[in-house]
């Protein structure tokens, strides 16, 4: 696998959602019937097909896929066959605190799918309780050591949701929180993660409003001479907002791509579940992915 760079970024189709994905089909992850599971698997395969159909239009970039084995086993197999950069999630879905989906069997699941990156999602804020933070850091450190011992790159998706006090400090304005408060909190969380011995290869970061904030985040990722990079995530943002985040990130050295999911396929999937128009679904997913690819590449 070629390491992504500013000049040759990694542009990931993300569809590792499980808990929220099941809700689109009117069920809960742990309550889905076999028939519903098959429908969800078929839907993720269609999402991948939509992007695969436009792959030959992506130049000067690597196409990546982030997908789970619960609803995306066929995608994992096809992405391997197509030579895509494959990221594989190992966290339990829909939980506030990080834990491994497969506990002690995690290495066996990773070995089965042979991903290029092993990914986890973590929600963490400096205002969290010390007990919760230490619990998460301990589990992350154990996973990080295991991955580095196996030579596997670690992709850490970091969400820093506002505490009530932090949101109140900007008058309840979530945009002001993203712009003025969150970047500093992200750096503080990064410091705590690194101090615990957790060493991501790639940090998957919520969109940033300014280039100055993006540079702060890269500096945090690379603190102490670390050889780490960042990619920007989509957070189910509307197109105008996400375009701005991509343009900010693409122009900052150390940001080497994106991982976008629901902004590419959620609305199209909801429409498909209503009308079963497969051709339109595939076309829409492909067009949405290409839009974000072109937006990112044009802003480098």
Q: Is the pLDDT of residue 64 over 90?
A: yes
What's the pLDDT score for residue 1?
80
* Dihedral (Cα; 17, 20, 25, 29), 10-degree rounding: 80
User: Which band of pLDDT confidence, cut at 50, 70 and 90, is reported for residue 279?
Assistant: very high
- Token pair belonging to 184: 């500093």
Cα 219–Cα 221–Cα 223 angle in degrees, nearest 5 = 65
Q: Name the residue among 120, 97, 102, 125 with its Cα closest to residue 182.
A: 125
Render pLDDT for 157-184 as a digit per residue (tens, 0 to 9).
999 999 999 999 999 999 999 999 999 9
Find the mean pLDDT for residues 272-295. 97
Residues of the chain with pLDDT > 90, as a percent, come to 99
Mean pLDDT of 272-286: 97
Sign of the torsion angle spanned by Cα atoms 145, 114, 51, 31: negative
Say whether pTM exceeds 0.85. Answer: yes
User: Cα separation of 289 and 44, whole Å?
Assistant: 15
Q: What is the mean pLDDT of the chain?
A: 97
State the Cα–Cα distance between residues 127 and 38, nearest whole angstrom: 41
- The 3-state secondary structure of 145-168 reads HHHHHHCCCEEEEEECCCCHHHHH
Q: For the packed helices 34-52 and 73-82, what is the interaxial angle rounded to 10 degrees?
A: 20
Placement of tokens 């990221």 in the chain = 87
> What is the per-residue pLDDT across 184-193, written as a single tens digit (0 to 9) for each?
999 999 999 9
Residue 60 CB burial class (10 angstroms; 0-12, 13-18, ≥19): exposed
| Contact present, 12 and 259 (Cβ < 8 Å) | yes
pLDDT digits (tens, 9 = 90+) for 90-149: 999 999 999 999 999 999 999 999 999 999 999 999 999 999 999 999 999 999 999 999
Contact call for residues 259 and 235 (beta carbons, < 8 A): no
Domains and CATH numbers, the chain: 10-298 (3.20.20.70)
Mean pLDDT of the region 248-266: 98
Mean pLDDT of 262-271: 97
Identify the H or E element spanning 233: strand 229-233
């Amino acid at each position: 696998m070629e390491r992504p760079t500013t000049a040759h970024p990694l542009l990931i189709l993300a569809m590792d959602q499980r808990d929220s994905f099941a809700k689109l089909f009117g069920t809960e992850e742990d309550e889905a019937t076999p028939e519903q599971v098959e429908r969800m698997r078929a839907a993720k395969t269609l999402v991948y097909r939509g992007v695969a159909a436009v792959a030959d239009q992506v130049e000067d970039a690597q196409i990546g896929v982030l997908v789970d084995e619960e609803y995306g086993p066929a995608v994992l197999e096809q992405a391997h066959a197509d030579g895509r950069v494959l990221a594989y999630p190992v966290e339990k879905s829909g939980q506030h605190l990080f834990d491994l989906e497969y506990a002690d069997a995690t290495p066996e699941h990773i070995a089965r799918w042979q991903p290029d990156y092993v990914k986890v999602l973590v929600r963490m804020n400096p205002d969290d309780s010390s007990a919760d933070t230490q619990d998460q850091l301990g589990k992350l450190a154990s996973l990080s050591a295991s991955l580095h011992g196996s030579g596997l790159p670690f992709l850490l998706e970091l969400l820093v949701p506002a505490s009530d006090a932090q949101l109140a400090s900007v008058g309840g304005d979530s945009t002001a929180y993203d712009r003025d408060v969150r970047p500093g909190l992200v750096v503080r969380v990064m410091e705590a993660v690194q101090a615990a011995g957790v060493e991501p290869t790639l940090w998957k970061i919520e969109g940033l409003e300014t280039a100055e904030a993006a540079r702060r985040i890269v500096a945090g990722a690379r603190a102490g001479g670390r050889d780490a990079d960042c990619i920007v995530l989509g957070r189910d943002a509307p197109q105008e907002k996400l375009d701005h985040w991509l343009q900010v990130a693409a122009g900052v050295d150390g940001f080497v791509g994106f991982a976008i999911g629901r902004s590419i396929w959620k609305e199209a999937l909801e429409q498909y579940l209503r009308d079963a128009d497969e051709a339109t679904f595939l076309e829409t997913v492909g067009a949405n992915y290409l839009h974000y690819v072109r937006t990112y590449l044009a802003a480098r």
